[in-house]
Amino acid sequence: MFSVSIAKSPEDFEIAAALCRELAEWDIAMAATHGVDPQLVTDLYHGETTASLARRYAQPGTGMLLASWDGRPAGCLAFSVFDDTADELHKFYVAPDFRQRGIGGAMMRAVIHAVETRRKSTLLAHTTIYMTDAISIYRACGFDFCPPFREVPKAVGHTEIFLRRDVPPG
């Protein structure tokens, strides 16, 4: 059985942190194949702990979605406030054993619904060229490529992709 829920408890954020560590390991290895220093990727994108994830994604206007399959952690997807009109997605990950089961799309639809109810007009995502499965899900869910909405260090610029999706009024 598949389910998606919002992380609330310390145990939920421990699960989120474990999934984020898996994402980090994969991201660091892939970035290295594109000539990006692994330490830079860690410093820029993967310095979280269980406690810092809980602090960041238990605040009003934020959330960490957790997907499970038959009670086993399967994936995560977080969102946070970018500005008055937009929310931004973070930490989009589906564990390898659970890919090709529709989990990524289900989490994306859940977060889009959450943003619609918050009356934000835009949803943003910042990803990399080698996260092709994630990009496919973003595109299938109505995201389009857009200019960068933040500066990134030149050393990673050749791998960065920015996307946005307009959110219809709820």
User: Per this entry, what is the length of the chain?
Assistant: 170
The structure tokens listed for 146 are 């857009």
Total of domains in the chain: 1
pLDDT for the residue numbered 135 = 98
Q: Quote the pLDDT of residue 73.
A: 98
pLDDT of residue 105: 96
Q: What's the CATH number where 12 sits?
A: 3.40.630.30
Q: Is the pLDDT of residue 170 over 70?
A: no
Burial class (CB in 10 A: 0-12, 13-18, 19+), 143: buried
Q: What is the pLDDT of residues 6-38, one digit of tens each?
A: 999 999 999 999 999 999 999 999 999 999 999
pLDDT tier at 143 (50, 70, 90 boundaries)? very high
Nearest Cα neighbor of 4 from 53, 95, 65, 63 is 65
For residue 141, pLDDT over 70 is answered with yes
Question: Exposed e or buried b for every residue in 114-138, given b needs 16+ CB within 10 A?
Answer: bbeeeebebbbbbbbebbeebbebb
Per-residue pLDDT of 66-121, as tens digits, reads 999 999 999 999 999 999 999 999 999 999 999 999 999 999 999 988 888 877 88
3-state helix, strand, coil in the chain (%, to 5): 40, 30, 30
Could you tell me the end-to-end alpha-carbon distance of the chain, in angstroms, rounded to an integer?
30
Q: Which of 159, 134, 163, 129 is nearest to 146 (CA)?
A: 163
Per-residue model confidence (pLDDT) at position 117: 80
pLDDT given for residue 113 in this prediction:
87
pTM as predicted: 0.95
100 lies in which domain range?
2-166
Helix axes 132-140, 103-117, angle to 10 degrees: 50
